[in-house]
Each structure stands twice: as structure tokens, then as C-alpha cells.
Amino acid sequence: MAPKPRLSLFALAVCGLALVAAVVSFARGSWPVGIVWILMAGLASNMAWYYVRRARLEQAVARANDGLSRE
């Protein structure tokens, strides 16, 4: 069973929306709020990478366990 990349896709969507919100905040002249949005985008980006790496690791472990059970 392949792990579903749902959480990584949600985190990536949040990252994109946070970047858009940061651009809008900077364009309106609200620097402190824009910086908060940039920090939120960074956090969401790290979460997306974490979930992608976790899914790859789970796939590798499943493949290794499948290979051991066939022997």
C-alpha cells in the first residue's frame, strides 16, 4: 500500500498561500505582517519536505520488508 502524499500537498499549498499573502502584505506596506507570512511559508515548506521524506522512507521500508518476506 503506497502512502498518500496528502499532508505534503496540503503543506505545499499552505506554503504557496503564505507566499502570496506575504507579497500582498509587502505591497500594501505592512512589513511586520509580511515577515510573519514569510516565516509561516518557511515552516510550511519544512513540513512539506518532512512529509515527502517520511513517505519515501516508509516506501523503502515496505520494499525492504517485502523482499525479506519472500526469501
The 3-state secondary structure of the chain, one letter per residue:
CCCCCHHHHHHHHHHHHHHHHHHHHHHCCCHHHHHHHHHHHHHHHHHHHHHHHHHHHHHHHHHHHHHHHHC
| pLDDT the model gives residue 2 | 53
| pLDDT the model gives residue 70 | 64
| pLDDT the model gives residue 71 | 57
| pLDDT the model gives residue 19 | 96
**Mind listing the pLDDT tens digit of every residue in the chain (71 residues)?**
455 678 889 999 999 999 999 999 999 999 999 999 999 999 999 999 999 999 889 889 988 888 776 65
| pLDDT the model gives residue 7 | 87
| pLDDT the model gives residue 67 | 72
